[in-house]
Structure 1
Amino acid sequence: MTSGNLLTDHPELYEARFPDAERLAARWAEDCLRRHGAGPRVLDMGCGTGRDAADLHAAGRTVTGVDLSETMLAHARTHHPGPRYARADLHAFDLGRDAFDAVVCLDSSLLYCHTNDQLDGFLASCRHALAPGGLLVAEMRNGAYFLGRTDLLDRPAVDEFTWRGTAYRSRTTLAVDRTDQLLRRTRVWTTDDEAPPVEQHSAWRLLFPHELRHFLTGHGFEPLELHDGPGPRTEPPWQEDRLPGRTTDGDRLHLVARLPHTH
């Protein structure tokens, strides 16, 4: 068995596994930006293959997509042109003198900040990158969902899809690491072409809503929305009132926060 990240090491395979034909995440992010009056300059942190960055660009935004993976960035430049793409670390980044009206962080990218220092580094970098009044828009797994729930932990999830004539099968196990406050994932890939199995390990920080508010306000952000839906895992429209009656115990957490106009 070999180790690696089969999907992120092969961006075309990633997009085949997660086709996202409706572009729900980018549409949700654009909806948030419009409702809160964000300017056109958007920084997409953890942009991956560049699909969401390209969709925001098509919506009229001036987009910079940032990722740590050169493989993903090369794919994005070739297959999803329009945005500018740059390599930087989520935990601490400085894109020079550029000022952005919004930082977008989709698909739990923010949760790759595993420690308090890494989360502080991310939020400090966002504060430095944003123009006064700028927005932070993010969606992620919700740590509160795992308080007393085990439905995602009780049994492995098995999936299969075919790409270019090869069947890919995955067996995914999730486990809560209470000491490090992480959700750890082990995924084993097998194929029908007799290639050796690939074992992939990844983890996300389990952030709780009050904890996230504490970090945000500590870095000068004002939380505008923090709730479990609706968001990019649900069908649009998303125009109904977000805050009254919204809870924070669903499996996804959706965040919009603003810097003050003077900072």
Structure 2
Amino acid sequence: MTSGNLLTDNPELYEARFPDPERLAGRWAEDCLRRYAAGPSVLDLGCGTGRDAAQLHSAGRSVVGADLSEEMLAYARDRHPGPRYVRADLRNFSLGPAAPLVPLAPGEPGAPGVFDAVVCLDSALLYCHTNDELDGFLSSCRRNLAPGGLLVAEMRNGAYFLGRNDLLDTPRDNSLTWQGVSYRSTTTLRIDRTAQLLRRTRVWTTDDGSAPVEQRSAWRLLLPQELRHFLTAHGFTVLELHDGPGPRTEPPWQEGDLPGTAADADRLHVVARLAG
């Protein structure tokens, strides 16, 4: 048994495992930006393979995509050109419109706000596991957003797991064929209540004789009112906070859908504006 992140290290496999042929995630984000008249400059945090950043770019926006994975960034530059792609840690970043990433020491003041919006999709925000990391994310957003700028985020909903266990502790299998090799993943979710984390173990096996690969990751379980509190404390006004429709809900978001009012299902969507 070896350890690694098979999907992050193989972005093409990632897109095969999580296809989005209609670019719903990027289109949903663009719909949110249009609804609140966001300016053209957008930072896509946790951009991954670049699909959503490229979709926002195709809508006429000036986009910077940021991710920690060099493999993802190289793939994005090659397969989804248009945005500028840089390496960044969403827990602490400062980025200018024409400069490479400028890392910040804790407490170091950042550059003036340069983005009209920050987009953070597919639970990337939940890799902030502690309150300090979440504060770091929101402080970085505040530093890099222009006054009145938007934060648009989409993630798993911690409230879904209050009294529900249908997604927990039962291995779930998925299979696909990529480059002539059949891959099978077995994924198990469990709650670490002390750390307030949803922990995921995923084991990959193939039919080519390769050793199994085990991946471990975790997401912070944020409750809707907890998220609202953090946003307000960092100078944001919450404009939307709901469980759908969104790009990963069932049924998925479609053009013309309005945001909901509940926050009970397994996805959470938030749009917040930084004070002017």
1:76 corresponds to 2:91: no
| TM-score, with length taken from structure 2 | 0.92
Structure 2 unaligned segments of length 5 or more: list them.
97-110
Partner Cα distance (1:26, 1:241) in 2: 16
Residue of structure 1 in register with 2:177 after alignment:
162
Counting only pairs closer than 5 Å after superposition, residues 1-263 of structure 1 correspond to structure 2 as: 1-96=1-96, 97=111, 99-233=114-248, 234-243=251-260, 246-261=261-276
Q: Which amino acid aligns with 1:242?
A: P
Q: Deviations over 1:68-104 (max 9, x none)?
A: 1111111111111100011111110011456000000
* C-alpha distance in structure 2 between counterparts of 1:76 and 1:237, whole Å: 25
Aligned equivalents of 1:22, 1:235: Cα separation in 2: 11
Q: Is the 8 A contact 2:94 2:144 kept in 1?
A: yes
Question: Does the CA-based 8 Å contact 2:244-2:253 persist in structure 1?
Answer: no
Identity of aligned residues (%): 74
Report the Cα offset of residue 165 of structure 1.
Answer: 1.1
Unaligned runs of at least 5 residues, structure 1: none
Per-residue CA shift, 1:98-118, capped at 9, x if unaligned? 600000000000000000000
* C-alpha contact 2:175 2:183 (8 A) present in aligned 1: yes
Q: CA RMSD in A?
A: 1.1
User: For residues 178 and 236 of structure 1, do their structure 2 counterparts lie closer, same or farther at Cα, with a shift above 3 Å needed?
Assistant: closer
3-state SS, counterpart of residue 134 of structure 1: strand
User: Which range moved further: 142-151 or 234-243?
Assistant: 234-243
User: What is the count of residue pairs matched by the alignment?
Assistant: 259
Separation in structure 2 between the aligned mates of residue 125 and residue 260 of structure 1, nearest angstrom: 15
CA contact (8 A) 1:231 1:238 kept: no
Q: Do the aligned residues in 2 keep the contact of 1:171 with 1:188 (CA within 8 Å)?
A: yes
TM-score, structure 1 as length reference: 0.96
Larger RCO, structures 1/2 (Cα 8 Å, 6+ apart): 1
Which residue number corresponds to residue 104 of structure 2? none
2:4/2:215 contact within 8 Å kept: yes
